[in-house]
Amino acid sequence: MLDIRFIRENPEIVKENIRKKFQDAKLPLVDEVIELDRRNREIKGEVEALRANRNKLSKEIGRLMAQGKRDEAEVIKQEIAKEADRVDQLTEEERQVEQDLHHRMLLIPNIIDPSVPIGKDDSENVEVERFGEPLVPDFDIPYHTEIMETFDGIDMDSAGRVSGNGFYYLMGNIARLHEAVLAYARDFMIDKGFTFCIPPFMIHGNVVEGVMSQNDMDSMMYKIEGEDLYLIGTSEHSMIGKFIGQQMKESELPYTLTSYSPCFRKEKGAHGIEERGVYRIHQFEKQEMIVVCKPEDSMDWYEKMWRYSVELFRSMDIPVRQLECCSGDLADLKVKSCDIEAWSPRQKKYFEVCSCSNLGDAQARRLKMRVKGADGKNYLPHTLNNTVVAPPRMLIAFLENNLRADGSVAIPKVLQPYMGGITELRPRKEN
């Protein structure tokens, strides 16, 4: 969400940014916002003038009554009554104008960073750097659910009967591995200086509106029937929402938080064979990181955060690459974003496991977050988020990259303490 003054003063910059995101259908919004803003300020000016005049006339009535001029005072009272009706009309119009203005403002995308590559969609994202050698073993790698089944580690049939498609039971050592990865990721981020947090898993509608775009809200969020509550799609939602309406001290910045939560997503639409199993599901668990910082520090934090993801995955022997998201692939609130993709030796390609985003001051403006600077003036902080790890999708990369020819799975040293000292998983037939 942009500052209305910026739109008012820089309409062509805002329109060019919309073109760069290939959202030309939104171009009329800029002129509509400017006109609504003009009318809003016009209404406020007229109401202020009417109220000032009412105060003046009220004093005049008192003077006339003191002089016994009741007829003249009555004429002025009638004038005040007419102006009061006009104020009521304008107030109602103002309410509607501000509502329309706010709705349109939410639809105008944030100004992207100059470094963002221009492209229509995710097919034009740009690979920046690879970390680790993407190897393909000389034996066939089964589909990830087939690997899990050799350890009696997954039951999707029962989950389908209980909850429907898009759910799963993880069992035994696969379930233990799932939790080990989350615990390791938690401690990894604590060691980086982040404060661990378990947030609310449901949030109010005004928080949803504050942290994500309307399109994402409709396509992702599950709403609790009859209540102003939504199940979170990621803990970033409630973590950033923690600061709604708050004035922060500059001396306390940056806030660096890492959070665990379950996540719930509608995941609408049909998906290909590579997205069956536990790749795209309605419920999963996740370790997240968020930063609230001074504007001048946000790009440095952006760089640090995506590199934390790389370091984490490489510590588990998983090759990854950084992929810069192009303009057309950026959600409307984002200034800059990149994906960390893990290597799939079975598919012989990379797939997304983390997403790091700098949202500038968009969320802070929507949520009315403020920082009181050393000079006593308030300003908007910047907010950032990044996935630390999101099993079970991450388990796909882990199992494929640590699978051996005999069907066993190596447990990297960093995970062994969380697995009770186990150094490998052996398939069922060898138990």
**Is 53 strand, coil or helix?**
helix
Domain boundary among 78, 107, 136: 107
210 and 154 in a single domain? The answer is yes
Look at residue 396 in the predicted model and tell me its pLDDT: 94
350-395 residue pLDDT tens? 999 999 999 999 999 999 999 999 899 999 999 999 999 998 889 9
Residue 235 scores a pLDDT above 80: yes
Q: Where residue 310 sits, what CATH number does that domain have?
A: 3.30.930.10
Does residue 228 sit within a domain? Answer: yes
Does residue 179 sit within a domain? Answer: yes
Cβ atoms of residues 337 and 109 within 8 Å: no
301 and 219 in a single domain? The answer is yes
Q: How many Cβ atoms sit within 10 Å of the Cβ of residue 60? A: 15
**Spatial CB neighbours of 131, under 8 Å, sequence gap ≥ 6:** 310, 313, 314, 319, 320, 321, 322
Question: What total number of domains does the chain contain?
Answer: 2
95-152 residue pLDDT tens? 999 999 999 999 999 999 999 999 999 999 999 999 999 999 999 999 999 999 999 9
191-201 residue pLDDT tens? 999 999 999 99
d(CA 357, CA 190): 20
Domain boundary among 107, 130, 155: 107
* Structural domain that includes position 72: 4-107
Does residue 208 sit within a domain? Answer: yes
Q: Where residue 98 sits, what CATH number does that domain have?
A: 1.10.287.40
| Listed residue (380, 386, 384, 385) closest to 366, CA to CA | 380
Look at residue 275 in the predicted model and tell me its pLDDT: 53
Calculate mean pLDDT across residues 87-96.
Answer: 91
Cβ atoms of residues 5 and 88 within 8 Å: no
Q: How does strand 370-372 pair with strand 247-249? A: parallel
272 and 351 in a single domain? The answer is yes
Does residue 26 sit within a domain? Answer: yes
239 or 51, greater pLDDT: 239
pTM attached to this predicted model? 0.89
128 and 257 in a single domain? The answer is yes
Domain boundary among 59, 81, 107: 107
Does residue 47 sit within a domain? Answer: yes
Q: What is the mean pLDDT of the chain?
A: 92
**Is 359 strand, coil or helix?**
coil
256-288 residue pLDDT tens? 999 999 999 887 554 444 456 787 788 899 999
75 and 149 in a single domain? The answer is no
Q: Which long-range contacts (CB under 8 A, 24 or more apart) does 85-91 make?
A: 86/50, 87/47, 87/50, 87/51, 90/43, 90/46, 90/47, 90/50, 91/47
65 and 200 in a single domain? The answer is no
Look at residue 272 in the predicted model and tell me its pLDDT: 47
48 and 171 in a single domain? The answer is no
Does residue 328 sit within a domain? Answer: yes
CA 205 to mean position of chain CA atoms: 14
- Residue 34, both tokens: 């400017």
Does residue 177 sit within a domain? Answer: yes
Residues listed for the chain: 431
d(CA 414, CA 421): 10
Instruction: Indicate if the alpha-carbon torsion angle 152, 178, 324, 108 is positive or negative.
Output: positive
298 and 209 in a single domain? The answer is yes
Does residue 114 sit within a domain? Answer: no
70 and 191 in a single domain? The answer is no
102 and 135 in a single domain? The answer is no
103 and 126 in a single domain? The answer is no
37 and 78 in a single domain? The answer is yes
d(CA 339, CA 356): 6
